[in-house]
């Protein structure tokens, strides 16, 4: 067997790459990790972590107002963007160091710089070349802004966290979870937010009832939602950016945030030097064991165009290392993966949408609950929670759970465990609820809302 510099060379120190490197090293492999930007990847630096911190900041504004009817008579304090931004930077730096320490702890070599594949067993970083028995590509995704007149004036989610000045007027373009979350963040921080989406309803891929409820609640929160419209051009004006829309209108704003999609981060990676096949969308094609069409080159995480969630990349990194270096037959089960959208209020979901459940299982029973949260009976806030359970009629198994309301993500994690274990509606019904909570609604829904008949 040829003697390589490393048993495994990982390109990308995001969640999936670092997990794979740590696990492989734990199995005794000699591992190197190359990273040209920041330790922890998108999630730690310009994704999940800073986004959730900014969501917390946005929710304080509403909490101060809600507190008044609970007896707290203070005025709404001023918001300081620089304080939030700089404290966020401090926290991210701390997390970057933790990732460095995690790799150092398993004696993995960290190489700073953009890696380029030279051949099936060689990777170059700068002027140095390294040989490896296996190469793992885990470079993630990168925001994509389409080209149009003035597109260079738009920013992406990479830049929005660290703007020098707070944008008091903001246009957000896109209909996915990233655009929805940033609309809620900046609306909550006090900006005038307009969200544009070219389709008739945002959050494509989510359950239709949740999508409709979300549009209603987000509009009530103050976001100016505009569907079936897109940007034609952006131009600098005397007092801001002039955004011309396809409906003939113009908006003047301080910033335009594009969140219309991400593409695999493959620039300069050297894939032309090997036989790694890409999909029509530009993602690396892999099989169920993360093998590319080059036998000893693998890929996982967002770069493959699968489910773009940090915990999924972590699971893939673990399964890869177990199979390749631990001698364990390990795969990832992609069914019943829970996820959340951290808008205000949150969306939590696990399992099938109603349409997809009907296509897979056939006849369904559907249950729902919609109500004003107890807190807002006193706060006075016009906000309603929506919950939905989708049940396969033949087996009584709960195959879809969807919620929009406070703490939806926290609640859905527990629901996901039950659903992965095959919980039936009868089991939900015989579970004692915790009172008074919103979560207890999931075990007290009794009346069928919709049912497919024979």
List the catalytic residues: 435
| Other Cβ atoms within 10 Å of 341 Cβ, number | 22
Is the Cα dihedral 275, 281, 287, 289 positive or negative?
positive
Q: What is the dihedral of CA 115, 118, 123, 128, to 10 degrees?
A: -80
From CA 243, how far away is CA 229, in angstroms rounded?
Answer: 12
Q: How far is CA 210 from each of CA 65, 196, 201, 341, 451, rounded to the nearest angstrom? A: 26, 19, 11, 11, 18
Q: Using an 8 Å Cβ cutoff, are 284 and 303 in contact? A: yes
HEC sequence for 192-207: EEEEEECCCCCCCCCC
Question: What letter would DSSP give residue 424?
Answer: B
* Contacts (Cβ under 8 Å, ≥6 apart) of 413: 338
Q: 3-state class of 292 per DSSP?
A: coil
**Alpha-carbon torsion (55, 41, 102, 322), positive or negative:** positive
Cα–Cα distances (Å) from 124 to 115, 167, 438, in that order, read 6, 41, 54
169 within 8 A of 179, measured Cβ to Cβ: no
Of 162, 196, 166, give the one whose Cα is nearest residue 180.
Answer: 196
Three-state SS at 142: strand
Task: For the chain, give the longest Cα–Cα distance.
Answer: 75
């Amino acid at each position: 067997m040829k003697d390589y510099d490393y048993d495994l060379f990982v390109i990308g120190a995001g969640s999936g790459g670092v997990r794979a490197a740590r696990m492989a090293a734990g199995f005794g492999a000699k591992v190197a990790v190359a990273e040209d930007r920041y330790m922890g990847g998108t999630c730690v630096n310009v994704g999940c972590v800073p986004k959730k911190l900014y969501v917390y900041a946005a929710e304080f504004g509403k909490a101060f107002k809600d507190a008044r009817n609970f007896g707290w008579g203070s005025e709404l304090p001023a918001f300081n963007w620089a304080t939030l931004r700089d404290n966020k930077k401090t926290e991210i730096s701390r997390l970057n160091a933790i990732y460095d320490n995690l790799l150092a702890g398993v004696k993995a070599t960290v190489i700073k710089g953009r890696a380029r594949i030279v051949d099936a067993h060689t990777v170059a970083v700068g002027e140095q070349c390294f040989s490896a028995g296996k190469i793992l590509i885990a470079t993630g995704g990168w925001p994509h802004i389409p080209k149009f007149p003035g597109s260079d004036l738009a920013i992406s989610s990479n830049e929005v966290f660290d703007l020098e000045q707070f944008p008091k007027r903001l246009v957000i373009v896109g209909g996915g979870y990233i655009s929805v979350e940033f609309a809620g963040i900046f609306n909550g921080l006090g900006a005038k937010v307009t969200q544009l989406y070219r389709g008739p309803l945002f959050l494509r891929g989510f359950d239709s009832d949740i999508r409709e409820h979300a549009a209603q609640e987000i509009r009530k929160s103050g976001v100016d939602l505009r569907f079936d419209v897109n940007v034609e051009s952006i131009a600098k004006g005397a007092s801001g950016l002039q955004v011309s829309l396809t409906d003939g209108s113009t908006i003047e704003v301080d910033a335009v945030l594009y969140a219309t999609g991400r593409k695999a981060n493959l620039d300069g990676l050297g894939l032309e030097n090997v036989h790694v096949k890409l999909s029509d969308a530009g993602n690396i094609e892999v099989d169920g064991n993360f093998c590319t069409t080059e036998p000893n080159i693998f890929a996982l995480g967002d770069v493959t165009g699968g489910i773009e969630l940090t915990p999924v990349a972590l699971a893939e990194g673990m399964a890869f290392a177990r199979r390749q270096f631990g001698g364990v037959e390990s795969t990832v089960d992609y069914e019943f993966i829970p996820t959340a959208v951290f808008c205000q209020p949150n969306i939590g979901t696990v399992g099938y949408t109603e349409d997809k459940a009907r296509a897979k299982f056939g006849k369904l029973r559907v249950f729902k609950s919609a109500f004003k949260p107890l807190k807002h009976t006193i706060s006075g806030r016009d906000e309603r929670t929506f919950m939905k359970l989708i049940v396969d009629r033949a087996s009584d198994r709960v195959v879809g759970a969807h919620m929009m309301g406070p703490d939806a993500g926290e609640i859905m994690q527990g629901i996901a465990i039950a659903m992965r274990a095959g919980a039936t509606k009868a089991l939900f019904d015989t579970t004692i609820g915790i009172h008074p909570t919103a979560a207890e609604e999931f075990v007290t829904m009794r009346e069928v809302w919709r049912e497919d008949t024979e």
